[in-house]
Amino acid sequence: MDAPRFPNLHVSQHPLVAHKLALLRDRSTEPKKFRELVRELSWLLGYEAMADLTTQPITVETPLEPMAGAELEPKVGLIPVLRAGLGMVDAMLELMPSAEVWHIGLYRDERTLKPVEYYNKLPDAATVQVCLILDPMLATGGSSSATVDILKQWGAARLKQISLIAAPEGVATLSAAHPDVDIHVAAVDRALNERGYIVPGLGDAGDRQFGTFAGPSSEPGHDPDDETAEVVRRLQRNLAGEP
């Protein structure tokens, strides 16, 4: 994608990310290995995404003498979008064991591709300064935008989206709605197909992690209904700047 058009988009250039992403995409990768790769990629992307977090000075007593050190300043919250985002949590907790974890449940209506909220256990007021939204796939961008809306109303001061793969349509939608949200991904793929799947993509991230497959009607390439196809075409027209 055109980087100057989306200054909030950060695509990892790390060779390990590229290597592990190729394995993740492979249709023959079994759920156990798939979950391991999701975890490893989440760790690498999370490391990059938190490179600009602020620190405060502290004094550390080494075995030989005191010295000046640094301590992470903001409180960080992890927001996995259920259910696929759950596979990214453990890796992030390895990086930040003190992070708070809050869950938001959204599903994508298969006809309209719009997000529907079904679970939200956030406390009444924000308890963290930085929220990392964890969702393996940034497809239409509707669920991510809705999650950001919820977190901003909650009072989160700063938000970042961490996804493994994004579609150009999803990047454009989230960037237009929330240009202040940084987007960190391993790759931006070609487009959405008429069912709203990222192509070439990797299939359904939740199904592949948890070994649940609903059959041909849920698989990429199945004939779309007219309403779904029209939603995808509208997103693509918006991306291209067409009326």
The three-point CA angle 95-7-179 to 5° equals 85
Query: Which domains are present in the chain?
Result: 8-52+69-240 (3.40.50.2020)
Write down the pTM of the prediction. 0.84
For the chain, 243 residues long, the average pLDDT of each consecutive 10-residue run is 78 97 94 94 96 95 96 92 86 93 77 74 87 93 89 92 95 94 96 88 85 53 57 70 67
**What's the rounded Cα separation, in Å, for the pair 67 and 60?**
5
Amino acid 9: pLDDT: 96
Amino acid 218: pLDDT: 42
Residue partners of 47: CB distance under 8 A and separation at least 6: 95
Amino acid 3: pLDDT: 55
Amino acid 143: pLDDT: 85
Amino acid 242: pLDDT: 66
Amino acid 53: pLDDT: 93
CB 150 within 8 A of CB 117: yes
